[in-house]
Amino acid sequence: MMDESSTKDTSPKGLSTKLLAGSVLGLGGGLVGLFQGLQSGDKAPFLGWLWGCSFWLSIAIGMLMLIMIFRIFNSKWSPVVRRQQEHALSAFPWLGLCLLPLLLVAWFGKDQAGILWSWINPASPTIEVSSIISVEEDVLHQKKAGYLNLNFFTLRLIAYFGIFCGISYWLRKASFSQDKDGDPKWTHLGTKVSAIGIPAAALALTFGAFDMFMSLEYQWFSTMYGVWFFASGMRAALAITILICVYLVANGKLKGLFKQAHQYDLACLSLTFTIFWAYVSFSQYFLIYSANIPEETFWFTIREIDPNTGLRSGWFWVSMGLIFGHFFFPFLYLLFYRTKVDVPKLVFIVCWILAFHLLDLYWNIIPGREIVPGAFVGYEARPVIGSHLLWGVFSLVGVGCLCAWAVIRSFQSGIAEIIPIRDPRIRESINHHE
């Protein structure tokens, strides 16, 4: 039997209600945008919605990967941390639900000129070299139409969420059931699910990134794109994990259980994935820059200059911000021991990382070529600041509140203890020291 006192959440009363209200408000605002976008053909609300969802989705995927990595490494220090991440997995079905409006828009608004994924509408204008043509006339689209079509796209999205939700279900079941009976078979099950889950989730997140983000500019391609999404998700997931654990220590639930050594190890992992993210992002940029092939470089060009004037656009400063703010600063900051073990300092940098992760997604999703017949090159690059930002904030808040509500509900449900008390590694995890 679970002890109610130890499993019930002690978070401020009414937090769940507030979060639910926040999600209704945010999602409601976002939905208004989607309707407006459907009627006016404006792409901005769709982009904003995708941006907001992608932030929380990347975090959930990162959490999933971290849990599975901990499992297959048979890691001794991690069970205390892992349990908090297992609660976070409860957000997956809701994330799927949040992406559903975009799919509905794709189905019901596929004749819209401003459809989010332009390849869905064969009549959408696009650019071939410097001429404006329709998507169906574009030979690049014709060649990949077997993959980029709405039916297959829908099936794939369902499959991705099926994989994420399925793995999450089994990981949670393996862990939570062990709290009750202490049977080591659950540990074996968790390891097996992770071993099979890692390749499945890797493929799902890769093709998910191709479908949702890369295909926004369907003419562009990069084999590294899935790896970039993985690296980004891991950074964000580690940041949120640290925040959750620190919060639970502060409210007493993990006090004395989540120790400085756990915090240090999570911060080391943060540093590792900061470097990995930079490595992946740099490699992708460098190889495209070096090759200088127009069919690839345009993707970076619209993130650097105004194509019609050749002058630096606002995106240049966002790009610089990512180089210095998303890599150099956290990298140098996390090199030091003190910043990894001092709670306020670590909280500061993980919030910083999350902010720049949001910017990284913004940089990946928002810039695009708006076809403008009179323009010198036939299109204009979407500006940094625009209505997409406003709509994005709605969905960011809405989806975030909904995910937080789902996670808190999981904590409060009494389905599991605050730490996996019967995990074979739990003593080693509790006694973890540097």
Partner 1 sequence: MSEVKEVEEHEILKKVDPAPWKDVPLVLNNRDYKWVTDKVCGIVESKTPTWWWWCFITALCIASFTGMGLVYLVSTGVGVWGNNNPVNWGWAIVNFVFWIGIGHAGTLISAVLCLLKQKWRTSINRASEAMTVFAVLCAGIFPLFHVGRVWFAWWLFPIPNANAIWPQFRSPLEWDVFAVSTYATVSILFWYMGMIPDMAVLRDRATETWRKYFYGFFAMGWRNANNHWRNFEMAYLLLAGLSTPLVLSVHTIVSFDFAVANLPGWHTTIFPPYFVAGAIFSGFGMVLTLLLPVRAVFGLRDLITQKHIDNMCMITLATGSIVGYAYAMEFFIAWYGANSYEGFAFINRAFGNYWWSYWIMVSCNVICPQLFWFKKIRQNTPLVWIISIFVNVGMWFERFVIANTTLSRDFLPSSWGYYSPTVVDIFTFFGTFGFFSVLFLLFLRFLPLMPMCEVKSVMPQADPHADH
Q: Where on the chain is the footprint of partner 1 (CB under 8 A)?
A: 3, 5-6, 72, 139-140, 143-144, 147, 178, 182-184, 186-187, 195, 199, 202-203, 206, 210, 221-227, 255-257, 259, 275, 279-280, 283-284, 287-288, 290-291, 293, 295, 417-419, 421-427, 430
What residue type is 166 in one-letter code?
A: G
Residue 301 beta carbon to partner 1: minimum distance, rounded to whole angstroms: 16
Residue 284 beta carbon to partner 1: minimum distance, rounded to whole angstroms: 5
Residue 38 beta carbon to partner 1: minimum distance, rounded to whole angstroms: 29
* Residue number with CB closer to partner 1 (296 or 304): 296
* Residue number with CB closer to partner 1 (85 or 219): 219
* Residue number with CB closer to partner 1 (377 or 430): 430
Q: Using an 8 Å Cβ cutoff, are 264 and 382 in contact? A: no
2 phi/psi in degrees, rounded to 5: -75, 140
Residue 395 burial (10 A CB sphere; 0-12, 13-18, 19+): buried
Residue 321 beta carbon to partner 1: minimum distance, rounded to whole angstroms: 22
Bridge partners for 370 per DSSP = 380
* Residue number with CB closer to partner 1 (44 or 322): 322
- For residue 328, the 8-state DSSP code is I
* Residue number with CB closer to partner 1 (253 or 326): 253
Q: Tokens 């020291």 belong to which residue?
A: 433
Angle CA 418–421–425, to nearest 5: 115
* Residue number with CB closer to partner 1 (54 or 206): 206
Residue 227 beta carbon to partner 1: minimum distance, rounded to whole angstroms: 6
Q: How many CB atoms lie within 10 A of CB 382?
A: 18
* Residue number with CB closer to partner 1 (150 or 393): 150
What residue type is 88 in one-letter code?
A: A
* Residue number with CB closer to partner 1 (178 or 313): 178
Bridge partners for 127 per DSSP = 132
What residue type is 173 in one-letter code?
A: K
Residue 172 beta carbon to partner 1: minimum distance, rounded to whole angstroms: 17
- For residue 312, the 8-state DSSP code is B
**Number of helical (H) and strand (E) elements in the chain, helices listed first:** 17, 4
Residue 60 beta carbon to partner 1: minimum distance, rounded to whole angstroms: 21
| CA separation, residue 296 to residues 185, 249, 288, 312, 406 (Å) | 50, 47, 6, 19, 40
* Residue number with CB closer to partner 1 (365 or 418): 418
Residue 255 beta carbon to partner 1: minimum distance, rounded to whole angstroms: 6
**Coil/strand/helix, residue 114:** coil
Q: To the nearest 10°, report the CA torsion of 198, 204, 205, 210.
A: 150
| CA separation, residue 223 to residues 214, 228, 232, 403 (Å) | 10, 10, 16, 30
Task: Give the separation between CA 418 and CA 290, rounded to whole angstroms.
Answer: 51
Q: How many CB atoms lie within 10 A of CB 150?
A: 15
Residue 253 beta carbon to partner 1: minimum distance, rounded to whole angstroms: 9
